[in-house]
Amino acid sequence: YRTEKTSIRMSKSPSLRRIQADIRELALDPSDQYYAHPLENDMFEWHFTIRGAEGTDFEGGIYHGRILLPPEYPYKPPHIIFLTPSGRFETNTKICLSFSAFHPELWQPAWGIRLILEALISFLPTPGDGAIGALDYKPEERRRLAKQSQSFCCPVCGPVETLLPKLDPEKKKSSRSGESAFSKQIAELRRLQQQREGGKKRIPKAKRDKSEDTTNVASKTPAETEPTTNVSTEGKLEEVPELSSDAENDNKKKVDSSTIKSDDKADRNDATVDENNNIPAQDTSEDEPQRLAAVDNRVEGEAEEVVNGFSNLYDPLLNVSILLMLCICVLLLKKAMHLYQELNELRATPIVDTLMEKATSAASSVAASAASSDEL
């Protein structure tokens, strides 16, 4: 699929118009670090190819994957799936990133396919932090997979090595020294990713440890409790006497009460689980809403520029329609002028005939009067 060889049917749908704008943007300003295109039969499914960043374990690697855009794009984020093993993300799995569908609260309509591709390259060297679809392979294994990725072949796109242009040493140096237009947004996304996934990783662990401890204690009934031995400071074994019936009952009550308290805490933690993704929500700091509001304000200007860029003036179909209407108006104007001239001619013709008739009748009357005067 190549945009220059395929005519794209324009649509009034905001999602399709935005997708077509992304296609034009990537076609007019291509990069040797990434490439993406939609499928011929589905504009909402894209296949992408990215290079591993230099100076990382992914250097020299070529990674292929899919971007699944929602019908509400660009107002909702897409799902991202990697097809090439990298040691950082699972394959054929929807991965959790701060700009994917797992975090719609962080998505901005001003972001598009280009930002997603550049962010993926930037997120490869970052730690997984227990996120969905994340892996933390050893550096040597990632370097091995980077070399192996060059021979990957997509059933739809073909060999991924042919999808990206060859690197030019001069362009390579200039691109290394240049800064991406989305560097600030990507840095902010990386910080939020580490903060959110780090919190999500700690909460289940503490919850799991507490539940395991209470389950193990509650599973032991007084009848099954056996005498245990403790090691004294002198290295001698001391036998612990068995509990009496009253002590056993008190211990059982304490265990039951602790189990109920732990269950209540677990229920409260489960209440904070994300209904869509079943992921426990992390404890956010007090200033996080202010920080998110600052991010929204910063990208609001960019969002307005992007939305204005997709006005009707840039719609080729509408431009052709306007041109045809202008031509029709010019033709109608010429026709109206021609009809007006003919009407004037038609109006002038009866007046001349009337004048000629009056002149003829006047001449005949004068001649008659002259003849009568001669006879007299």
- Per the document, the length of the chain is 376
Cα–Cα dist 278/272, whole Å: 9
In the chain, the DSSP E strands lie at 34-38, 45-51, 62-68, 79-82, 153-154, 158-159, 229-231, 237-239
Catalytic member of 96, 154, 327, 329: 96
Cα–Cα dist 57/145, whole Å: 9
Cα–Cα dist 176/185, whole Å: 18
Taking alpha carbons only, the member of 71, 63, 74 closest to residue 22 is: 74
Cα–Cα dist 177/268, whole Å: 50
In the annotation, is 96 catalytic?
yes
Cα–Cα dist 78/81, whole Å: 10
Cα–Cα dist 40/8, whole Å: 10
Q: Which residues are catalytic?
A: 96
